[in-house]
Homo-oligomer: A and B are copies of this chain.
Amino acid sequence: MAHDLGKGWLGNFFEDFELGKEQVCAPPRVIGAPETALHIGTTNDRQARFCGGEGRMHPLVVFHTVIGQTVRNISLNSPANLGYSKMIWHAPVFAGDEITTTIKIVGLKENSNGKTGNCFVETTGRNQSGEIVLQYTRWVMVRKRDHDTATPYLENPVTPSLASQVEVAELPAWSGDLSRSEKTGGAYFFEDYEPGERIFHHDGMTVNHTDHMQYTRLWQNSAKVHFDEILTDGKPLVYGGFPFSIAYAQSLNGLENRSGMVAMNSGAHANPCYSGTTIYSFTEVLEAHDLVDQPYGALRLRLVGVKDLNPADHKDFDIGEDNGKGRIKYDPRVLLCMDIWELMPKRAS
């Protein structure tokens, strides 16, 4: 019997996406203490809010769970994740919650090379009560099935209007107890942070094979390039969320009292990462907003992950230069550059 490729799913190609189409991603997933332990065991995360008795799940555990659920539909044939817009962690997630993710295609743009297109995906993660816990739009490059036939989205691309940042008024309120030094070890509070300031995090972490592959599989992310040495000529690509998690865990050092990310304005996986890379990071304070009537303020921060170079030894390290089109051409040592919002308690009066 001759065999065709049959029932095994090879993923959607650019031609398969339909504007406005909503889909439930499979499978739903319960997360809890084991995912927290593996997150800690992979990243060395030490944030008190996410390892205590309350069972509060780390915002990046929620992020990876949601993005992992979308891979089968969106990104099996994706050479690159291009950006994120208006990512908001709307509600806390606790151990035992079951996360279900839905996606809606809100933009399609074929690229001029005829080989790929960009797909804009509104992504919504909900808990078992249907409450939205995380929402964002991301855009990804997706390969075309047929390089010789243009789609309507070459001539008539549909590009959604995407907010360049989450407004302060849109940030969710602090959830749960405010951070205090006794539990966090942190000496600094909202009043201590100043725009323009750089915080160096000092902890380098070298990536090993199992480190990144296990973490990526944990989120049921099934993109082949992360796992198959033959397909990748011996260099499996590290999932972009991995150095993000490492750098974010490192960035607790100097920001011990933070809430944990409540929103992300934008984010770039600036350069690829492979096993053997040592990841360092620093944070720049971009904005500090006093929230009157609240016991905390909001900090807009740029988290920068750097490969094989400790920015604490190069304090004025330049992440890149403007490419003339309002975007940054990143230094090849920049792994990631994430523009995020944290809430930060004020000093107890």
Contacts and interface: CB of A to CB of B under 8 A. Distances in A.
Interface of A: 1-10, 24-30, 32-38, 40-48, 51-53, 55, 72-73, 96, 98, 128, 181-188, 192, 196-206, 208-211, 213-215, 217-218, 220-222, 224, 227-231, 236, 253-256, 276, 278, 308, 310, 312, 315-316
Contact of A192 (B7, B29, B209, B253): B7
Contacts of A200: 3, 5-6, 8
Given A8-B312, A26-B46, A203-B228, 5 more contacts: A26-B181, A33-B33, A40-B217, A46-B222, A53-B96
A347 to B, nearest CB: 14
Contact of A185 (B45, B51, B72, B197): B72
A3 B198 contact: yes
Given A230-B204, A278-B230, A308-B230, A218 B2 contact: no
B7 A254 contact: yes
A308 B228 CA distance: 10
Contacts of A185: 9, 25-27, 72-73
A26 B45 CA distance: 12
B220 A206 contact: no
Contacts of A46: 26-27, 72, 220, 222
Given A27-B51, A34-B33, A214 B42 contact: yes
Contacts of A42: 214, 217
Nearest to A221: B44
B236 A206 contact: yes
Nearest to A46: B220
A184 B40 CA distance: 29
Nearest to A314: B3
A247 to B, nearest CB: 13
Contact of A32 (B33, B96, B214): B33
Nearest to A181: B26
Nearest to A44: B217
A1 B224 contact: no
Given A206-B227, A278-B230, A9 B253 contact: yes
A217 to B, nearest CB: 4
Contact of A24 (B182, B206, B209): B182
9 contacts: A3-B316, A6-B254, A7-B188, A8-B253, A27-B183, A33-B33, A34-B37, A42-B217, A53-B128
